[in-house]
């Protein structure tokens, strides 16, 4: 008789482990618009299956909850049933012995409180408010609704020019987005159910790299209408591009020396090389809009005058002001905001950080951008100080990893307290209070002071990257512009309530967001300005797509983007990421499941041929 044995997984356990991973991926790929009550019932069923069966609330209660939710779905419940569901879930939550029971009950409670109206609608009318209005996940999650399956199929056929032209129907910045888009399209990619999401951004970049000359768009008949765009960033230029195609005369006013907005003045060149951005903007200009740079609205010309001179105005001034730390010593020399630093780099004014100890404060993508730029500017050390844990950073995980690989140190769980100055008023150190991670608030764990003593880190430069705001002082002379919480309060049509002929969108409306959201806002504004001026010009594409492919879709790894080795890339501001090879692009585009054809897409129109 042996005292101990080595536990090995049997075949059934191994299979179940695999199924857990399948379910995880499956949930990840849930399309938007599903019935939350139906999902709640399914979740309770899974939770119930996990019950060991020892305790009453979990063993019996979860089954009863499932039955009650089913009665809501099958039309046999009344409004009292909803009270019973809530009371039962509370009882289970309060009395279950372990997390299997009480967390399951908590999910039900969150649901019946969070989407009570859906429960009630089912009871009263046998209906659900949820609706699968845009059935192709990538298209629906792209704010600009780019025809992803369409251009992916064109890439697979080797028709790169057509692919990029199809993208331009909805997004005039394919090159920029191919490099720096946050790709929400990949978030719920149905391919995740098979293996892993398609690398959509990488494919877009590949198509752009193989496009060749950007063709000039076909301009519709001139309307004689004049439109002013305030701010030449991605949102303003998108609006300018589409409005010009529609035949309107467009003038873009840009405060800075060059066009591009945050694409130039917020994103360092190693992520988006200037020559690529310039080439893209030159291509946009073929639509024929005019540009005036170095003009500040509210300073050189008032918005009121602009409104008088033009038939419509689109305000897309972005969010370019910095937020302050609000700690003693912040006024020291050598304390620079990330916005300011990136702005200078944008005009190719590269400072020299040789030999300097740099501390970046913040945990977002902008913090990573300035930290990695500081390394490239020759800094001796770069530390990134962050109040929470590294895993809590809002920056994309690959950006954080990239920064570390570039040589940045992450100083997690340290909160800035004050900046120490030398006798010349220049900063010499940043004092930090160590933190421990604490309770979860609003879905994120928050830091709290630990009992450890303060620490001081040597700092010749402190780069502050804790957020941006909009410069709404411009509009003080135009009181009608509604400002709320530091943003322009525009309607979802980009129009402003009670202000005739002025539209707004992009970061100045949403707060600092993504380039694709800014582009989508510009597109929306273009459509609604056109409508406002009494037209209905349609932006369409005449590109015919190849026949749908057949494939058994055997699981295949996703082609991830590779980067230049860290020791090489930190020496310059040249593009850091490698593109896909022909072989990789062909395989990756072949992984697309074509939800525009298979499933709900073919029924409810996966493809938006015009807007």
Partner 1 sequence: MQMVNCTIDGKKVCVPEHTTILEAAKEIGVYIPTLCYFKGLNEIGACRVCVVEVEGDQRLHAACNSPVLEGMVVHTNSKKAREARKCNVELILSQHNVTCTTCVRSGNCALQHVANDLNIMGESFPKDLPKQKGSKSFPLIREYDKCIKCMRCIQVCDKIQATHVWDVINSGGKSTVDVRDFYRLEDSPCSLCGQCITHCPVGALRERDDTDKVLDALDDPETIVLAQIAPSIRTAWGEEFGLDAEEASVQRLASCLKEMGFDYVFDTDFAADLTIMEEASEFLHKLTHQEGDFPMFTSCCPGWVRFIKSHYPEYIPQVSTSKSPQQMFGAIAKSYYADILKVSPKKIFSVSIMPCLAKKAECSYPNMTDSEGNFDVDVALTTREVNRLIRAMHISPKKMKDVELDMPLGLGSGAGNIFGATGGVMEAALRSAYYLATGENPNPDAFKDVRGMDGWKESSFDIAGNKLKIAVVNGLANADRLLTALKKGQVHYDFVEVMACPGGCVGGGGQPIHDQKEMAAHRAPVLYKQDREGTLRFCHENPSIKLVYQDYLEKPLSERAEELLHTSQKGWLMPGESE
Both tokens assigned to 68: 């009650």
Residue 97 interacts with partner 1 (CB under 8 A): yes or no: no
Q: Report the candidate in 13, 271, 21 with the shortest Cα–Cα distance to residue 262.
A: 271
By CB under 8 A, name the one of 550, 555, 583, 610 that touches partner 1.
Answer: 550
Residue 246 interacts with partner 1 (CB under 8 A): yes or no: no
| Smaller CB separation from partner 1, 190 or 320 | 190
By CB under 8 A, name the one of 40, 89, 128, 361 that touches partner 1.
Answer: 128
Distances (CA, A) of 576 to 37, 261, 279, 280, 353: 46, 21, 18, 19, 20
| Smaller CB separation from partner 1, 3 or 125 | 125
| Smaller CB separation from partner 1, 326 or 547 | 547
Residue 555 interacts with partner 1 (CB under 8 A): yes or no: no
Residue 117 interacts with partner 1 (CB under 8 A): yes or no: no
**SS3 per-residue string spanning 345-396:** HHCCCCCCCCCCEEEEECCCHHHHHHHHHHHHCCCCEEEEECCCCHHHCCCC
Q: Which stretch binds partner 1 (CB under 8 A): 104-112, 119-127, 302-310, 373-381?
A: 119-127
Residue 551 interacts with partner 1 (CB under 8 A): yes or no: yes
By CB under 8 A, name the one of 125, 441, 444, 610 that touches partner 1.
Answer: 125
Distance in angstroms (rounded) separating the CA atoms of residues 291 and 294: 10
DSSP helix/strand/coil, 313: strand
- Cα 18 vs. chain centroid, distance in angstroms? 30
Residue 120 interacts with partner 1 (CB under 8 A): yes or no: no
Q: Which stretch binds partner 1 (CB under 8 A): 8-16, 67-75, 101-109, 279-287?
A: 67-75
Q: Write the binding mask 131 to 150 for partner 1: x where contact by CB under 8 A, - elsewhere.
A: -x------------------
| Smaller CB separation from partner 1, 488 or 595 | 595
User: What's the closest the beta carbon of residue 523 comes to partner 1, in angstroms?
Assistant: 21
User: What's the closest the beta carbon of residue 75 comes to partner 1, in angstroms?
Assistant: 6
Residue 396 interacts with partner 1 (CB under 8 A): yes or no: no
| Smaller CB separation from partner 1, 33 or 351 | 33
519-538: which residues touch partner 1 (CB under 8 A)?
536
Residue 75 interacts with partner 1 (CB under 8 A): yes or no: yes
Task: Name 567's Cβ contacts closer than 8 Å, sequence gap at least 6.
Answer: none
Residue 100 interacts with partner 1 (CB under 8 A): yes or no: no
Pairing of strands 249-253, 290-292: parallel
Q: Which stretch binds partner 1 (CB under 8 A): 126-134, 293-301, 314-322, 414-422?
A: 126-134
Sign, CA torsion 370/371/376/378: positive
Distances (CA, A) of 569 to 301, 406, 574: 43, 8, 7
| Smaller CB separation from partner 1, 130 or 483 | 130
Residue 46 interacts with partner 1 (CB under 8 A): yes or no: no
Q: Let me know how many helices (H) and strands (E) the chain has, helices first.
A: 24, 19
Alpha-helical (H) ranges within 554-600 are: 566-569, 582-590
| Smaller CB separation from partner 1, 70 or 420 | 70
DSSP letter, residue 474: G
| Smaller CB separation from partner 1, 38 or 90 | 38
User: What's the closest the beta carbon of residue 153 comes to partner 1, in angstroms?
Assistant: 12
Q: Dihedral through CA 510, CA 515, CA 517, CA 522, nearest 10?
A: 90
φ/ψ bin of 362: left (φ > 0), alpha (ψ from -120 to 50), beta (otherwise): left
Q: Write the binding mask 567 to 606 for partner 1: x where contact by CB under 8 A, - elsewhere.
A: ------------------------------xx---xxx--
| Smaller CB separation from partner 1, 534 or 565 | 534
Tokens 């190849």 sit at which residue? Answer: 546
Instruction: Please check whether residue 51 is in contact with residue 100, taking contact to mean a CB–CB distance below 8 angstroms.
Output: yes
Residue 548 interacts with partner 1 (CB under 8 A): yes or no: yes
| Smaller CB separation from partner 1, 74 or 305 | 74
Distance in angstroms (rounded) separating the CA atoms of residues 576 and 589: 23
| Smaller CB separation from partner 1, 498 or 552 | 552
Residue 29 interacts with partner 1 (CB under 8 A): yes or no: no
Both tokens assigned to 241: 């591009």
Residue 33 interacts with partner 1 (CB under 8 A): yes or no: yes
| Smaller CB separation from partner 1, 11 or 552 | 552
User: What's the closest the beta carbon of residue 206 comes to partner 1, in angstroms?
Assistant: 24
User: What's the closest the beta carbon of residue 549 comes to partner 1, in angstroms?
Assistant: 8
Both tokens assigned to 475: 């509009």
What count of other Cβ atoms lies within 10 Å of the Cβ of residue 387?
21
Distance in angstroms (rounded) separating the CA atoms of residues 260 and 340: 16
DSSP for 173-228, please give it: -HHHHHHH---GGGTT-GGGGTSS---HHHHHHHHHHTT-SPPPPPPPPP---EEE
By CB under 8 A, name the one of 25, 28, 29, 34 that touches partner 1.
Answer: 34
Residue 38 interacts with partner 1 (CB under 8 A): yes or no: yes
Q: How many residues at the interface with partner 1, by CB under 8 A?
A: 24
User: What's the closest the beta carbon of residue 510 comes to partner 1, in angstroms?
Assistant: 29
Instruction: Please check whether residue 377 is in contact with residue 349, taking contact to mean a CB–CB distance below 8 angstroms.
Output: no
User: What's the closest the beta carbon of residue 167 comes to partner 1, in angstroms?
Assistant: 23
| Smaller CB separation from partner 1, 126 or 425 | 126
Residue 292 interacts with partner 1 (CB under 8 A): yes or no: no
Both tokens assigned to 551: 């494939």
Residue 74 interacts with partner 1 (CB under 8 A): yes or no: yes
Greatest C-alpha distance within the chain: 96
Residues that bind partner 1 (CB under 8 A): 33-35, 38, 73-75, 125-128, 130, 132, 536, 547-548, 550-552, 597-598, 602-604
């Amino acid at each position: 008789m042996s005292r101990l044995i080595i536990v090995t997984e049997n075949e059934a356990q191994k299979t179940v482990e695999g199924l857990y991973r399948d379910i995880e991926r499956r949930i990840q790929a849930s399309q938007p618009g599903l019935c939350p009550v139906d999902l709640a019932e399914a979740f309770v069923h899974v939770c119930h299956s996990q019950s060991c069966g020892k305790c009453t609330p979990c063993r019996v209660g979860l089954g009863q909850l499932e039955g009650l939710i089913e009665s809501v779905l099958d039309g046999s419940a009344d409004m009292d049933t909803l009270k019973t569901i809530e009371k039962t879930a509370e009882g289970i939550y309060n009395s279950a012995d372990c997390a299997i029971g009480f967390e399951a009950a908590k999910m039900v409670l969150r649901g019946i409180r969070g989407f009570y109206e859906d429960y009630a609608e089912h009871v009263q009318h046998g209906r659900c408010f949820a609706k699968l209005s845009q059935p192709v996940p990538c298209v629906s999650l792209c704010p600009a609704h780019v025809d992803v399956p369409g251009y992916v199929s064109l890439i697979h056929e080797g028709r790169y020019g057509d692919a990029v032209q199809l993208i331009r129907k909805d997004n005039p910045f394919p090159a920029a987005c191919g490099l720096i888009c946050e790709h929400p399209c990949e978030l719920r990619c149905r391919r995740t159910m098979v293996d892993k999401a398609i690398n959509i951004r990488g494919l877009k970049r590949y198509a752009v790299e193989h496009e060749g000359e950007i063709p000039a768009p076909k301009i519709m008949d001139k309307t004689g209408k004049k439109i002013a765009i305030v701010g030449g960033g991605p949102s303003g230029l998108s609006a300018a591009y589409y409005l010009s195609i529609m035949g309107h005369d467009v003038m873009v006013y840009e405060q800075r020396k060059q066009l591009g907005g945050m694409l130039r003045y917020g994103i360092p060149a190693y992520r988006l090389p200037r020559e690529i951005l310039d080439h893209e903007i030159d291509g946009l200009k073929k639509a024929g809009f005019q540009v005036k740079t170095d003009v500040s609205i509210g300073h050189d010309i008032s918005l009121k005058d602009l409104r008088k001179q033009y038939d419509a105005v689109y305000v897309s001034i972005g969010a370019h002001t910095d937020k302050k730390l609000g700690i003693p010593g912040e006024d020291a020399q050598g304390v620079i905001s990330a916005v300011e630093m990136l702005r200078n780099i944008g005009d190719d004014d590269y400072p020299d950080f040789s030999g300097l100890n740099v501390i970046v404060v913040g945990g977002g993508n902008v913090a990573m951008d300035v930290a990695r730029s500081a390394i490239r500017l020759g800094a001796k050390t770069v530390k990134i100080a962050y109040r929470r844990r590294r895993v809590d950073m809002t920056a994309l995980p690959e950006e954080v990893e990239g920064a570390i690989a570039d040589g940045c140190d992450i100083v997690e769980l340290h909160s800035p307290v004050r900046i120490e100055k030398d006798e010349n008023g220049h900063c010499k150190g940043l004092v930090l209070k160590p933190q421990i991670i604490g309770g979860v608030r609003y879905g994120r764990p928050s830091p709290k002071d630990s009992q450890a003593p303060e620490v001081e880190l040597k700092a010749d430069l402190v780069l502050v990257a804790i957020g941006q705001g909009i410069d709404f002082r411009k509009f003080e002379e135009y009181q009608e512009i509604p400002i709320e919480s530091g943003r322009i309060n525009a309607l979802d049509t980009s129009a402003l309530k009670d202000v005739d002929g002025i539209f707004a969108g992009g970061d100045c409306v949403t707060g600092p967001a993504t380039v694709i959201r800014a582009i989508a806002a510009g597109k929306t504004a273009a459509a609604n300005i056109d409508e406002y001026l009494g037209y209905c010009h349609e932006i369409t594409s005449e590109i015919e797509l190849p026949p749908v492919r057949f494939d058994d879709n055997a699981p295949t790894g996703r082609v991830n983007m590779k980067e230049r080795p860290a020791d090489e890339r930190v020496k310059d501001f040249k593009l850091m990421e490698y593109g896909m090879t022909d072989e990789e692009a062909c395989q990756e585009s072949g992984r697309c499941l074509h939800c525009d054809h298979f499933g709900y897409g073919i029924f409810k129109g996966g493809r938006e041929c015009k807007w």
